[in-house]
């Protein structure tokens, strides 16, 4: 039977691919939200007829209101609008917004016992314990959309006892700069960092892939989602992005999920789980596959991964500080204000300057995030 989806962040890369899947499955849309891309959001509203459309930007919301005056779509704005979309009557809240803004809507949806299909990794990185705790207490579900975590989720199906898991193995493409020396990395430009070899994604996550911070954030994400200690998670460079991640069990069996680099599969699985249905994701032709290679990550030239692991082992607000400082540094890099290698050194400095609160409340987390951004801007 068709489901009803509330989609937060519908105009970004994941949002657009989500609507591909939703259209193919003939699901209904309760709400669509965007930052300020009025043209695309209007077109999406006309195609999917949600009850509610939200622009974070008030001026964009006003423009959308005028454009949709001939429809029954209600238009709201800002964080209030985003929260309204998160608690709409729906089977799944798919959050594909970027950054910390996704945290409160996720918590509100979980408090209603909803399924949250989570493509917003910052939420789990900054507030993973709060989020998973809200899910447990209110009977909500957090289903990962990130390809690695979906691969792990798929490889864990049928595993009744997590004690049987020896370790989770996250694969990493290594990004566009794999194999480069530090001297070479000093010279890379914004347009080089935006050329990912395998995946087509938004700018922020593409830069995170180039620094390997993305994989560091994903290690933290995996710890929170699957309640695993850092020692039970490893990262392996797999340039071909065919194996999306693996689970090694105590009997030394390793289960993996393979597929093309097509986000529509993990998006769809988060919507249909525990069922599988035919969908729009590109099939993988094993006979056309390149040879599969595996190498250890290069922590010396890509120190962001090590910084994230360190933050994960400290815990508390340390991961929110890491994330806030990184978001700020990446946006400065994208604006051409700092060179590539400064992203990591700036994150490191922020980590050293903001003190950590253990077992943080939502307020502690938001404060740590703000403090980290402030310091990153001052630097
Ligand atoms: Mg990923």
How many Å apart are CA 87 and CA 111, to the nearest integer? Answer: 9
Calculate how far, in angstroms, residue 332's C-alpha sits from the geometric centre of ligand 1: 22
Calculate how far, in angstroms, residue 147's C-alpha sits from the geometric centre of ligand 1: 5
Give this prediction's pTM: 0.95
How many Å apart are CA 131 and CA 116, to the nearest integer? Answer: 10
Query: CA 93, 97, 100, 104: dihedral to nearest 10 degrees?
Result: -30
Residues in a beta bridge with 116: 93, 142
Calculate how far, in angstroms, residue 269's C-alpha sits from the geometric centre of ligand 1: 15
Calculate how far, in angstroms, residue 127's C-alpha sits from the geometric centre of ligand 1: 18
Calculate how far, in angstroms, residue 75's C-alpha sits from the geometric centre of ligand 1: 32
The reported pLDDT for the residue numbered 205 is 87
The reported pLDDT for the residue numbered 202 is 80
Calculate how far, in angstroms, residue 179's C-alpha sits from the geometric centre of ligand 1: 20
Say what angle helices 121-138 and 362-378 make with each other, to 10 degrees.
Answer: 180
Which of these, 244, 270, 248, lies nearest to 258 by C-alpha position?
244
C-beta of residue 55 within 8 angstroms of C-beta of residue 41: yes
Calculate how far, in angstroms, residue 151's C-alpha sits from the geometric centre of ligand 1: 10
How many Å apart are CA 201 and CA 120, to the nearest integer? Answer: 13
Give Cβ neighbours of residue 288 (< 8 Å, ≥ 6 apart): none
Question: Which long-range contacts (C-beta less than 8 Å, at least 24 apart) are formed by 256-263?
Answer: 256/151, 256/155, 257/150, 257/151, 257/154, 257/155, 258/284, 259/284, 260/284, 261/147, 261/198, 261/199, 263/13, 263/14, 263/17, 263/145, 263/147, 263/199
Calculate how far, in angstroms, residue 378's C-alpha sits from the geometric centre of ligand 1: 30
Calculate how far, in angstroms, residue 121's C-alpha sits from the geometric centre of ligand 1: 9
The reported pLDDT for the residue numbered 100 is 86
Calculate how far, in angstroms, residue 74's C-alpha sits from the geometric centre of ligand 1: 33
Calculate how far, in angstroms, residue 41's C-alpha sits from the geometric centre of ligand 1: 25
Calculate how far, in angstroms, residue 337's C-alpha sits from the geometric centre of ligand 1: 26
How is 220-266 classified by DSSP, letter by letter?
HHHHHHHT--GGGEEEEE-TT--EEEEEEETTS-EEEEE--S-THHH
Calculate how far, in angstroms, residue 218's C-alpha sits from the geometric centre of ligand 1: 7
Calculate how far, in angstroms, residue 63's C-alpha sits from the geometric centre of ligand 1: 34
Per-residue pLDDT of the chain (379 residues; tens, 9 = 90+): 699 999 999 999 999 999 999 999 999 999 999 999 999 999 999 999 999 999 999 999 999 999 999 999 999 999 999 999 999 999 999 999 988 899 999 999 999 999 999 999 989 999 999 999 999 999 999 999 999 999 999 999 999 999 999 999 999 999 999 999 999 999 999 998 888 777 777 888 889 999 999 999 999 999 999 999 999 999 999 999 999 999 999 999 999 999 999 999 999 999 999 999 999 999 999 999 999 999 999 999 999 999 999 999 999 999 999 999 999 999 999 999 999 999 999 999 999 999 999 999 999 999 999 999 999 999 8
Calculate how far, in angstroms, residue 110's C-alpha sits from the geometric centre of ligand 1: 23
Give Cβ neighbours of residue 356 (< 8 Å, ≥ 6 apart): 314, 316, 317, 318, 321, 368
């Amino acid at each position: 039977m068709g489901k009803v989806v509330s989609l937060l962040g519908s105009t970004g890369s994941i949002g657009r691919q989500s609507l591909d899947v939703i259209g193919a499955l003939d699901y209904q849309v309760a709400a669509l939200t965007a930052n300020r891309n009025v043209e695309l959001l209007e077109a999406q509203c006309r195609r999917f007829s949600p009850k509610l459309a939200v622009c974070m930007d008030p001026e964009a919301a006003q423009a959308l209101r005028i454009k949709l005056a001939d429809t029954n779509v209600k238009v709201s704005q800002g964080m209030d609008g985003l929260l309204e979309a998160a608690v709409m009557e729906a089977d799944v809240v798919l959050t594909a917004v970027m950054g910390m803004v996704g945290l409160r809507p996720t918590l509100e949806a979980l408090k209603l016992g909803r399924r949250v299909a989570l493509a917003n990794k910052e939420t789990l990185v900054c507030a993973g314990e709060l989020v998973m705790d809200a899910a447990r207490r209110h009977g909500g579900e957090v289903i990962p959309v990130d390809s690695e975590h979906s691969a792990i989720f798929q490889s864990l199906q049928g595993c009744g006892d997590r004690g049987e898991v020896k370790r989770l193995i996250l694969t990493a493409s290594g990004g566009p700069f794999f194999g480069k020396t530090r001297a070479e990395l000093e010279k890379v430009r914004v347009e080089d960092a935006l050329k990912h070899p395998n995946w087509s994604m938004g700018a922020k996550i593409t830069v995170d892939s180039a620094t390997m911070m993305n994989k560091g954030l994903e290690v933290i994400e995996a710890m929170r989602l699957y309640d695993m200690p850092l020692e039970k998670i490893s990262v392996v460079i797999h340039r071909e992005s065919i194996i999306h991640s693996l689970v090694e069990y105590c009997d030394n069996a390793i289960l993996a999920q393979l597929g093309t680099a097509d986000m529509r599969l993990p998006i769809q699985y988060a919507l249909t789980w525990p069922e599988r249905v035919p969908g729009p994701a590109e099939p993988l032709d094993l006979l056309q596959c390149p040879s599969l290679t595996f190498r250890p990550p290069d922590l010396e030239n890509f120190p962001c991964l090590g910084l994230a692991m360190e933050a994960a082992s400290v815990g508390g607000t340390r991961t929110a500080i890491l994330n806030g400082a990184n978001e700020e540094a990446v946006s400065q890099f994208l604006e051409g204000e700092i060179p590539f290698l400064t992203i990591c050194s700036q994150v490191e400095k922020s980590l050293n300057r903001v003190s950590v609160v253990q077992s943080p409340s939502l307020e502690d987390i938001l404060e740590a995030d703000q403090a980290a951004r402030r310091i990153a801007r001052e630097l």
